[in-house]
Amino acid sequence: MKTLTIGLGSMGMGAALSCHRAGLTSVGFDLNADALNAFAADGGTPIDRLDNADSIDVALIFVVNAQQAESVIFDSPLLDKLSPGAVVMNCVTLAPSIAKDLAARVIERGFGYIDAPVSGGALKASEGRMSVMASATPASMQHAQPVLDAIAEHVFRLGDAAGEGSKMKTINQLLAGVHIAAAAEAMNLAAALDMDLHQVIDVISKCAGTSWMFENRAPHIADGDYRPLSSVDIFVKDLGIVQHEARAEAAVTPLTDTSLGLFADASQAGLGRLDDSAVAQLLARQSQQRLPGMDE
């Protein structure tokens, strides 16, 4: 089976290399030459133009947003490079309505489509241990099973219709964004109280107040390491999707609204391309506090 992963960021790179390690012919495309070189160094087959792809059985989409996903699927040669019966597996966080629209258009061209947003972070992606929230026809799921086996520890079948996977990812991103904001607030308060930030992490990680996001992101804050694995701007986008979906259904989301405001303010303050934990820097500035890694 030949796979093509479009978007070799932290999650896409992990998926592409997991396919390679599983014995699949793994091709990767990205506009970033460094990403292509890193992929090649680990045994993958990089291409710098989608024109160079051919006979692809499963295309995995790991771009940033809905606009990029639509463009790479329909405004590039991608669909012309797929094998008969191939499947497009879209792993981008999308509004459910957009997932439905993209699926219908791909299916109209004669290919399968899996609404397949993922979760787990860069480490789990690199280990082939992501969680996939998938909705697709049984035929598409069966066709892509070798890929799912390669990249995921947990594959959740959420129905046959596109959009159901994206609904679940919407709920996940609500919780993820709120938990990151809460972790940032807690670490900023700990700094204001002149506490040892690493000790705070050690203790809270063993207490009821912990969360996966606290345990994963608080060390970034304590170390002052804001190299982006998932950026502030990603959560501006994702919490925007959450807010839009909630308002469409008249569901109140006060914690989402507050967290989105923090991420949006952090982005406007020049922190948008940093790791999403950099929302802590915004809180520190507002508190007239300093955290590790902040400019003088």
Q: Which residues are catalytic?
A: 169
In 3D space, the residue among 276, 278, 256, 234 whose CA is nearest the CA of residue 92 turns out to be 234
Residues 243, 186, 293: CA angle, nearest 5 degrees: 100
Report the Cα–Cα distance between both ends of the chain, in Å, rounded: 53
Contact 177, 256 (CB under 8 A): yes
Whole-Å CA distances, 121 to 126, 182, 281: 9, 18, 21
Angle at which helices 254-266 and 164-192 cross, to 10°: 70
Residues 6+ apart with CB under 8 A from 32: 8
Q: CA-to-CA distance for 202 and 279, rounded, in angstroms? A: 21
Q: Is 227 exposed, middle or buried (0-12, 13-18, 19+ CB in 10 A)?
A: exposed
Edge-to-edge strands, sheet with 45-47? 45-47, 25-29, 2-6, 56-61, 82-90, 112-115
Q: CA-to-CA distance for 23 and 21, rounded, in angstroms? A: 5
Structure tokens belonging to residue 215: 């345990």
Q: CA-to-CA distance for 255 and 259, rounded, in angstroms? A: 6
Q: CA-to-CA distance for 9 and 52, rounded, in angstroms? A: 20
